Structure 1
Amino acid sequence: MPIGQRVCMAAAVAAVAVLVAACGSSPRPDPTPLEPLKPQIAGKEVWRHALSNVRFPMRVATAGGHFTLADSDGTVLALAADTGRELWRGDAGAKLSAGVGSDGRYAAVVTVDNELVVLDAGKPLWRSRLAARVVTPPLVAGERVFVQGIDRAVTAFDVLDGRKIWALSRPGGDPLTLSQPGVMLPWKDTLVVGQGPRLVGVDPLRGSIRWETAVASPRGTNEVERLADLVGPAARIGDTICSRAFQAAVGCVAAERGVLQWTKPIGGTEGVAADDDYVFGVDASDRITAWKRASGETAWTSERFLYRDLSAPAVVGRTLVFGDKEGWLHFVDRADGQPLLRLSTGSKPVVGAPVRVGSTLLVVTANGNVVAFRPE
């Protein structure tokens, strides 16, 4: 969902989860012009691949030491990180609404017809009809496929045969949820998911809740104003998981017992990144903020990229990397936000957060350009 657009109610039924979609109510300011930049670090494009367009919130999977990705038409493929060589290619058989989850061998996507499709090295293995629409990429781990619907209910399937193992949903659900990817990631032997403003630790074998912690305290006069759904990607650093509650807060949780370490009220609609020292994110105006990971204290902010529709960030060495709606990839110093390098992917918006395997950084654009860079 584009940053900065107003949230509106797409449907409302008492005691039923409601989709929230992006609805423009006022023009967004023009993007801040880019300043002249003398590169402070070296970096170059190393390979490029072409897909059809990408019109769903796709995330590139990196398990297995290669990139697994997909396009809107249902093509799913794996690319070697160093050369871009195609390792395998498959077809989900329909247009996609969510993907890609992969453990390096099995890949999982969801179609617009609410079918979960699992492929084994590119060959379709099984399909399963889902009860709710899905926009969060599935998670493939521990010989299971975990799927999170827009109602934030989670279902586990056997990766080999598609057998449904368990399902977890909150009694009564949340009054509103987002039509935007949520939080779902592994931590040791725990599945961590976002349900409303809560981060929840789940037993992946049984689907039982081990702990849950609120990252935000929703406030407002109506359900839309109180919406604080956790949005992905979340950041996992050691035993800490940090995440953003939609337009409400950013916070970090100690995953061993689900203890809230800190939370800071701040708007924003994109996920966060983190390293040993900082947590990074952008607000709805594309102001970049770095918080100290231990305390949540603000370390620095930058307004150099306002209204450029920045992607969720990635941390690469000493740099913090964002894509924008004009296809630029921005490298800034993680310690103070100073621009270090700017590289072009073309003229179309960058889709999702940049991802890295080894020394190769990958970004995908809305028109299907898959571009690999190697910062030096």
Structure 2
Amino acid sequence: MDKKITLPFALALVTAALVGCSSNKLKVEEPKPNPLPKLAQAKTLVPVFSQGVTSTDKADPLRLQLDSDNGVNFIVNPKGEVAAYRGKQRLWQTRVSKRGLTSGVEAKEGVVLVGNAKGELFALDQATGQQKWRAQLSGALLSPSLIQEGRAITIANDGTVFAHDVATGQQVWAYKMPNVQFSLRGQPSPVLLDPRTVLVASANAYVYAIDIISGVPRFQRRVAVSEGRSDVQRLIDIDGDPVVAGQFLVTTSYQGQVTVIDLAAQQVVWSEDASSNKRAEVSNDKVFVAQTDGKLVAYNLTTGEKTWESDVLLHRELSNPVMLGSDLVVGDLDGYLHLINPDNGQLVGRSKTNGEVRTLRVVENQLYVSTRKGEFTVWQNR
């Protein structure tokens, strides 16, 4: 049976291992976050929606992102509720599970999908919030599902990928990824490669392409390697979603590498050492990576050349980076949303939300933010 550990615990174990036998005589202190530099004439974002729910534990990697479909925002509450808003008007609110909810929302094809730590997947009617069906999966659900071609694709935290019929909830197929002895408690979301193929990433640093309709695997590819000595030092999970950018597949891994694969040739184009458990961002032939130590790095998509590197936000526990208009945006542990010039890595603006920023998404040129304190906000450029 595989063992799931949280990222803070893994970092503590790695630090202890590096200190060595004399660690019982030393007090290992966590690095202090870099202070924020003052910005002259800084850009700011405009908040257009805000809603608070129950907070989550700091050590928990939950990605309780909100989703939007047909102008309606769908929000999940860890206490077990889901709500729908059009603007500031609440359309409905439904109590889904007494056991709480642990996955973000996926809203598409008239259905809202959420899941919990007991492996229960719930499908709600988008218009009314009424439960359409429920399915029992084999492990905790920690990341949003994917709805495509009438299939609900969900990854359980034991590495099993499930496909259910969106209309009926009937299981169509299941694909079991290999187990590993140790892994981080977290799971990337399934990602579309094309309308008939879904990409899923695993704790063993492989990416699998699976036919959405049949569940038949099309290919698999190892995207990172580890050189650690202990089990913890060899943790090499892919917890950030893979990114498809034209003919390229971009992945990041914890204590591993950022890797770019040419999907047409099925070959690694380049790979550079970088530890990250966040999704990379790809824009204008650049790959932007937020590393676990808070360093931001930009690479050339096709060559792997490092175009810039910034440690201004070092140890600020950064979220995944995203492009919003012409700015790169990343969140931090204090709820700040940093606007960055993607050409040189310079800070150009800042806005503030409530709580440690967990996930960022851009939908129709608006920034969707979720925090550990349960604050869901939507922002746009001025």
Instruction: Report the TM-score, using the length of structure 1 for normalisation.
Output: 0.88
Q: Matches of 1:192 and 1:199 in 2, distance apart?
A: 7
Matched with 1:227 is: 235
Q: In the alignment, which of 44, 47, 51 is matched to residue 45 of structure 1? A: 47
Task: Tell me how far 1:356 sits from its aligned partner.
Answer: 2.1
Distance 1:335 1:223, change over 3 A: same
Structure 1 window deviating more from structure 2 (254-263 vs 98-107): it is 254-263
Residues 1:42 and 1:286: Cα distance change in structure 2 (over 3 Å): closer
Per-residue deviation, residues 18-47 of structure 1 (Å, max 9, x unmatched): 213231634322211111112354532233
Q: Which residue of 2 aligns with 1:160?
A: 167
Change over 3 Å in CA distance of 1:255–1:79 after alignment to 2: farther
Residues 260 and 271 in structure 2, CA contact (< 8 A), matched pair in contact too: yes
Deviation digits for residues 139-159 of structure 1, max 9, x if unmatched? 222211111122222111111
User: How many residue pairs were aligned?
Assistant: 356
| Matched letter for residue 2 of structure 2 | A
Find the counterpart in structure 2 of residue 177 from structure 1. Answer: 183
Q: Tell me the SS of whatever aligns to 1:306.
A: coil
Counterpart amino acid of residue 244 in structure 2:
R
Query: Aligned to 1:206, what secondary structure does the other structure show?
Result: coil
1: CA distance between counterparts of 2:324 and 2:265? 29
Structure 2 contact 258–274 (Cα < 8 Å) conserved: yes
CA-to-aligned-CA distance 1:299-322 (integer Å, 9 cap, x gap) = 101011111111111111221111
* CA RMSD between the two structures: 2.1
Shift in CA distance, 43/57, structure 1 to aligned 2, threshold 3 Å: closer
Q: Report the 3-state secondary structure (helix = DSSP H, G, I; strand = E; otherwise coil) of the residue aligned with 2:34.
A: coil
**Equivalence map 1:1-376=2 (5 Å):** 16-22=1-7, 23=9, 25=12, 26-41=28-43, 43-55=45-57, 56-64=62-70, 66-80=72-86, 83-94=87-98, 95-103=100-108, 105-121=110-126, 122-170=129-177, 173-188=179-194, 189-195=196-202, 196-256=204-264, 258-346=266-354, 348-352=355-359, 354-376=360-382
Please identify, of 190-199 and 262-271, the stretch whose mean Cα deviation from structure 2 is larger: 262-271
Cα offset, 1:85, TM superposition: 4.1
Task: Show CA shifts across 1:40-59 (max 9, x none).
Answer: 54532233223232453223
Residue 88 of structure 1: how far off its partner (Å): 4.2
Output the CA distance in 2 between the equivalents of 1:206 and 1:161: 17
Cα distance between partner residues in 1 of 2:269 and 2:108: 30
User: Aligned AA for 1:28?
Assistant: E
Contact 2:201 2:241 in 1 (8 A): no
**Amino acid aligned to 2:275:** G
CA change 1:235–1:78 in 2 (3 A) is farther
Q: Aligned partners of 1:66, 1:370: CA distance in 2, in Å? A: 14
1:174 alignment partner, SS class: coil
Residue 164 of structure 2 contacts residue 172 of structure 2 at CA under 8 Å; is this kept in 1?
Answer: yes
User: Does the CA contact (< 8 Å) of 2:44 and 2:350 recur in 1?
Assistant: no
Structure 1 residues 184-193 or 103-112, which shifts more? 103-112
| TM-score (norm: length of structure 2) | 0.86
How far apart are the structure 2 equivalents of 1:344 and 1:29? 23
Cα offset, 1:132, TM superposition? 1.6
Q: What are the Cα deviations for residues 186-229 of structure 1, in whole angstroms up to 9, with x where unaligned?
A: 12121101122111111111211111111112222233222212
Residues of 1 paired with 2:268 and 2:89: CA distance? 43
Contact preservation (8 Å) 1:177, 1:227 = yes
Q: Structure 2: 5+ residue runs without aligned partners?
A: 13-27
8 Å CA contact 2:201–2:208 kept in 1: the answer is yes
Q: Which residue matches 2:24?
A: none
1-side partners of 2:101 and 2:44: how far apart?
36
SS at 1:363 equivalent: strand
Listed one character per residue, the Cα deviations across residues 260-294 of structure 1 (whole Å, up to 9, x for unaligned) are 32221112222211113111112221010011111
Structure 1 stretch 49-58 or stretch 287-296: which is displaced more? 49-58
